[in-house]
Amino acid sequence: MTATSQLLVCHGLTRQFGGVVALSGLDLEVRRGELLGLIGPNGSGKTTFFNVLTGLFPPTRGQIVFDGTPLAGATPQEVHRAGITRTFQRSRLCLELSIFDNLAIGAHQRLDHRFLSNVLRRRALAREADATARMAKELLEIFDPPLARRLHEPMTGVAMIDRRRVEICRALMSRPRLLLLDEPSAGMTADETARLMDDILEVRRRFGDLTVILIEHEMSVIRRVTERCVVLNYGKKLCEGTFAEVSADPEVRRAYLGLT
State pLDDT tens for residues 60-99: 999 999 999 999 999 999 999 999 999 998 888 999 999 9
- The pTM (predicted TM-score) of the whole model is 0.89
Helices 122-143 and 160-172, axial angle in degrees (round to 10): 130
Indicate if 125 and 195 belong to the same structural domain: no
Q: Do β-strands 228-233 and 69-70 pair in parallel, antiparallel, or remain unpaired? A: unpaired
In DSSP terms, 192 is beta-bridged to: none
Determine, yes or no, domain membership for 26: yes
Separation between Cα atoms, residue 113 and residue 150, nearest integer Å: 26
CATH number for 37: 3.40.50.300
Separation between Cα atoms, residue 23 and residue 49, nearest integer Å: 7
Indicate if 40 and 21 belong to the same structural domain: yes
Separation between Cα atoms, residue 186 and residue 218, nearest integer Å: 9
Indicate if 180 and 255 belong to the same structural domain: yes
Domain end (from 173, 194, 228): 173
Indicate if 155 and 166 belong to the same structural domain: yes
Domain end (from 128, 154, 173): 173
Indicate if 126 and 143 belong to the same structural domain: yes
Indicate if 193 and 250 belong to the same structural domain: yes
Find out whether 85 and 127 touch, Cβ atoms under 8 Å: no
Write down how long the chain is: 260
In DSSP terms, 8 is beta-bridged to: 30, 66
CA distances to 8, 105, 173, 216 from 98, in Å: 34, 11, 16, 28
pLDDT tens-digit series, residues 178-219? 999 999 988 888 888 888 888 888 888 888 889 999 999 888
Q: Which class for 56: exposed (0-12), middle (13-18), buried (19 or more C-beta within 10 A)?
A: middle
Range of the domain at 110: 94-173
The number of folded domains in the chain is: 2
Indicate if 152 and 181 belong to the same structural domain: no
pLDDT tens-digit series, residues 146-171? 999 999 999 998 988 899 999 999 99
Indicate if 147 and 215 belong to the same structural domain: no
Indicate if 23 and 99 belong to the same structural domain: no
Domain end (from 136, 157, 173): 173
Q: Which helix (H) or strand (E) holds 64?
A: strand 61-66
